[in-house]
Amino acid sequence: MTGSRPILVTGASGFLGEAVCRALAGASRPVLAVHHLRPPPLEHPAVRWVQADLSSAVPLRGERGMEFGAVIHLAALLPSAATSTEEAARLNRHIDDRVFRWAAARAASVIYASGTSVYGDLRGEALVDERASVSPLDPYLQAKADGERSGADIVHKGGGRFVALRICAPYGPRQTARTVLQVFVERALASEPLLYYGTGLREQAFTFASDAAAACLLALEAGDGCFNIAGSPAITMKDLATMVARLAGKPAHFVRAAGRPDPQEGRRARFDTRRAARELGWTPKVPLRDGLLLCLQARRPEALA
């Protein structure tokens, strides 16, 4: 239990960070929200915003006297045109270790945002549970797997719990990243064809932002170790496109093959979430259909009236 002390949330102005801060504020939990370049997206009396570059050697303002009961660590630098995968991985390991040591110095527990991508190239029929081996496909994902291990070691030595939430493809109305789901939503609202690569049979599960945030809040009170957080059964890209088109009121012919191979052809992202249900009390509340409709309505409410 974290008592009345604030919950430190890193990456708080990001897509998932905002959802977590909203959930904490809604539960009347005081929040110490750390943001970097993006402006704070939420004003609430329970949320205190602190600007900081966690990759910098400069101490966080007030760091020495800062008290918090637990950390929800969401901050991560994504690879980009300006930052290679290797550089992003290096900086993320630096950020992770810094945050883990802050927590350990206060015997605070850490909820760490990892992802199901740490499992690697999944192609089997069976559901993947947390006992499966991890096999990251690039340095960025390797840094996530390394963070799971080093975080558990550092935080446990400080006397706190360490929970790694392997969140599968979070999405929601406030998401700005152009994921396949968001591209389908954009194209459907623009009355453009929804194009899938290859056969369209690659599978992916998705997790609505509020369900991912709920997992973070539940992990503040229970659990230790790694947990799969996947909010929907896996769906093929072709079926996802068809669902988006139907919800947007578009005819079936809007969904078609792009005529290009899918570099991830044959992948099946099927995850077992029973451990999260058993130990955290977490089950997803937002079905994929409802989440997609919320994404569509947020972008063009008049188009779906």
Q: Where are the domains of the chain?
A: 7-169+207-229, 176-205+233-270+285-304
Helices 85-105/139-158 angle, 10° precision? 10
Would you state the pLDDT for residue 305? 44
CB proximity list for 67: less than 8 A, separation 6 or greater: 5, 6, 106
Give 212-242 pLDDT, tens digit per residue.
999 999 999 999 999 999 998 999 999 999 9
Rounded Cα–Cα distance for residues 187 and 269 (Å): 24
Domain 176-205+233-270+285-304 has CATH 3.90.25.10: yes
β pairing state of 203-204 and 235-236: antiparallel
pTM of the model: 0.94
pLDDT digits (tens, 9 = 90+) for 34-68: 998 888 888 999 999 998 889 876 556 555 556 89
Q: Are 27 and 4 in contact (CB under 8 A)?
A: no
Does the structural domain 7-169+207-229 have CATH classification 3.90.1150.30? no
